[in-house]
Amino acid sequence: MVEKSKVQEILDKIRPMLQRDGGDVELVEVSDEGIVKLKLVGACGSCPMSTMTLKNGIEARLREEVPEIKTVEAV
């Protein structure tokens, strides 16, 4: 099982990079199956590159530190 507090801790490390570009990320849910649901807000919410940011940036970092995470989804 993935600890929500651990995911939040990692997101707090990533957040300054997103905020530098006028965006941010909110943790919505961490399921028992290892699915993390995030909401991209600010500039990230409407950016055409948001899918790449989510998968290649945020998901990669989360899975690197918490291998139990299966996938990260935007909501």
Q: Where are the domains of the chain?
A: 4-74
Task: Kindly report the CATH number that applies to the domain delimited by 4-74.
Answer: 3.30.300.130
Strands of 35-42's sheet, edge to edge? 23-30, 35-42, 71-74
Query: For residues 5-40, b (16+ Cβ closer than 10 Å) or e, as one string?
Result: eebeebbeebeeebeeeebbbebeebeeebebebeb
Ordered per-residue pLDDT tens for the chain, 75 residues:
889 999 999 999 999 999 998 999 999 999 999 999 999 999 988 888 898 999 999 999 999 999 999 999 999
Yes or no: say if 40 and 51 are a contact pair by the CB < 8 Å rule: no
Is the whole-model pTM more than 0.75?
Answer: yes
Q: Cβ–Cβ contacts within 10 Å for residue 50, how many?
A: 17
